[in-house]
Amino acid sequence: MPSRTRRALAAPAVAAGLLAAALAAVPSAGAVTGGVPDGQAHPAVAVLLVGDGRGTQRCSATLVSPTVLLTAAHCVQDRVGLAAVSFESALAGTAAELSALPYPEDPARGYRAADLAGRDDWHAGTAHAHPEYSGFTDAQRWLDVGVVVLDEPVPGPAPAALAPEGLLDGRPARELNGELFTVVGYGSEVRADGSGRPLGEDVPLLRRSAQVAAQRLAPQLLMVQGNAHDARGTGGPCTGDSGGPALDADGRIVAVTSWSSTPLCRSRAGLQRVDVPQVQDWLAGHGVPVAGAGA
């Protein structure tokens, strides 16, 4: 099975050195490796924290209506409690700051409103996975999409627009191959340690963006080359970028990060298309604006 691109976070009580070791030991799931710090280029993209009954998982998400964020189904299918999101571009520059992120008082129950009390930069919502999500088992109905419905509208960032239904289907293969899309997320960055060995690093934790080159199209997936050394792009998604958007040249969401083919995220990645009817119909049911086919 391809590596999922969410990331587990350790409890704040873990010492800084152990925290770094614990994070390094977590199997890769998805972060933008390569690319550049995003700053305020994509303010609608948020970090997403959800409880799984044992601890928390980190993914990425995008505001697509005043009260709804789009993410990946595998980020939220096993969640307990509320989802917590923040639109801050830079969240942690040190391991100590990383351990200070909001954490459920009772991990078995997940996030509750009290866990986010007094943190004005964090917002609470209820997460839902697409009811037909196949759990990475059926390429014809992959449906790795989810939403977080916020308790109240978020002031500030304007929602991002979805690509219209069938947008990618209209691209000839030769035209699509090599076309660049922008991926955005809060994933780990792959860097070399002192010995030159590449490792996924969670600090600094910030929003990053990179250009990925399309390889081919499937009914549910957009396959991309996510390597910073690729002559056509600047990086790709990695651990923690799951659910983050892939944007076309007009800034529309065409897909969300679903999986990476290698733990160090330097090769092919699969992005769940959002221009397919099963996704668009479900999002419309949550009040997300969708454009007409071919718009």
Residue 200: per-residue pLDDT:
59
Q: What is the pLDDT of residue 76?
A: 97
Residues 6 or more apart in contact with residue 197 via CB below 8 angstroms: none
DSSP letter for each residue of 94-115: SHHHHHTS---SSTTT-B-GGG
For residue 102, the model assigns a pLDDT of 95
Averaged pLDDT, 35-64: 95
Domain boundaries, the chain: 1-295
> What is the CB-side half-sphere exposure of residue 204 using CA atoms within 13 A?
12
Task: For 102-126, write each residue's pLDDT tens digit.
Answer: 999 999 999 999 999 999 999 999 9
Task: List the structure tokens of 226.
Answer: 């996510």
Topology classification of domain 1-295:
Thrombin, subunit H (2.40.10)
pLDDT at site 178: 78
Confidence of residue 35 (pLDDT cuts 50, 70, 90): confident
Q: Is the pLDDT of residue 227 over 80?
A: no
- pLDDT for 156 equals 85
Residues 85 and 46: beta-carbon distance below 8 Å: yes
The partner residues of 182 in beta bridges, in order of sequence, read 211, 247
- Cα(70)–Cα(160) distance, rounded to whole angstroms? 10
Contacts of 104 (CB under 8 A, 6+ apart): 51, 56, 81, 110, 111, 112, 115
Give the model's pLDDT for residue 175.
87
Q: Is the predicted pLDDT of residue 20 greater than 60, yes or no?
A: no
Going by C-alpha positions, the residue among 186, 263, 273, 185 that lies closest to residue 224 is: 273
pLDDT at 142 over 90: yes
